[in-house]
Amino acid sequence: MKSLNKILTGIVGIALSFLAGAILIKLQGNSPIDAYRALFDYGLVSWFSLSSTLNNATPLILTGMAAAIAFSSNVVNLGEPGQLIVGALTAALLGYYLPIPGIIGIFVILIISGIVGGLYGGLAGVLKKYYKMDEFITTLMLNFIADYFTLYLATYPFLDKNSYVPATRMIKKEFFLPTINGINISFFIAIFMVFVSSFVVTYLKKGYEWRMMGYNYNFSKIGGCENEENLIWVMFYTGFLSGLAGALLILGGTQHRFTKGIGANYGWDGVMLAIVGGNGVVETSVFAIFFGFLKAGGIGMEFEVSIPSEFTMVLQAIIVLLVVATRSTISYYSDKIRASLKVQRVVKSSE
């Protein structure tokens, strides 16, 4: 029921954001109807547009889940961008140098890239446990380290001499992830991780302790949960998801190499998705597909109506604000109504 409420309030917020977006489009002198028609044509109507939406949603599903699991565990992991690009660089290097062939090689690349991302995320947890450093600060700073260090590696020691921009060599073609009717296999890997993450959070002891830590940190500690150790595990697992997202960008993307800016805004979009999805694994994944639709459809708005594709980023920000506002408003008034009805029942029973 809670999942349904999160999705429904999200839909209401999205509807209001589209209305606000229409006003902005009209103020620019364009037709909101034509703009949104192009958005749907390029993001949903045809099989090609639908496949583009799902492919765009793949890294968002993973980074969104990473942020959602962290936030629901009372852990502030803002390091998804850094964890994603270290996973991407790891996949790019393994994809070129790894001697293991075929499917086994792909599996090894994905696992190792995820582990590297997890270790990079877990570093913030270690700093929190042993040096009491706030993970809010450390994860942000680790993003900068990852960004500049991976850029250095791609620019100097692992630079492709034939490239005109900082980029590694292309991975071996045997490591390219195939597509099924236009949908890359990486999307199905991301969906598989949705089920895995949902199982971990819902049914495993560690997942239960993570949720209790999110509900009440002090209560969970008094109840016997090893909160500091769990924080490290949360950081590792969410870093693993982000690192896996980076690996899928390399193996299932279009360039098949690490380049400057390959992470785009996938990491920060994941944070926004967790907020919109109310920190639920499934709910966040549903909205990730919607954000993938916006990314695919935004290209159509630019081509057909000459509205910059960056407008979709503005729309995403509006969606986050209005979804949170809608959810908070509905929660406030529903609690107020329930309290009022309860008071009335108590008064009647006492008469």
The DSSP result for 18-65, as a single string, is HHHHHHHHHHTT--HHHHHHHHHIIIIISHHHHHHHHHHHHHHHHHHH
CA distance 30 to 23: 10
197 HSE (CA, 13 A, CB side): 31
Angle at 93 between CA 91 and CA 96, to 5 degrees: 105
In the chain, which residues have pLDDT < 50?
Answer: none
* Beta-carbon contacts of residue 3 (< 8 Å; ≥ 6 apart): 280, 282, 283
What pLDDT, on a 0 to 100 scale, did the predictor assign at position 235?
Answer: 98
Angle at 249 between CA 185 and CA 104, to 5 degrees: 55
- Would you list the domain boundaries of the chain? 33-325
What pLDDT, on a 0 to 100 scale, did the predictor assign at position 280?
Answer: 93
Of residues 142, 183, 165, 146, the one with CA closest to residue 257 = 165
Domain boundaries 33-325, CATH class: mainly alpha
Q: Decide: 110 and 247 in contact? Cβ < 8 Å.
A: yes
What pLDDT, on a 0 to 100 scale, did the predictor assign at position 170?
Answer: 97
How far is CA 277 from each of CA 5, 12, 65, 242, rounded to the nearest angstrom? Answer: 10, 13, 10, 17
CA distance 300 to 297: 5
CA distance 222 to 43: 49
Read off φ and ψ for residue 209, nearest 5 degrees.
-65, -35
* Beta-carbon contacts of residue 58 (< 8 Å; ≥ 6 apart): 184, 186, 187, 189, 190, 245, 248, 252, 292
* Beta-carbon contacts of residue 274 (< 8 Å; ≥ 6 apart): 64, 67, 68, 70, 71, 284
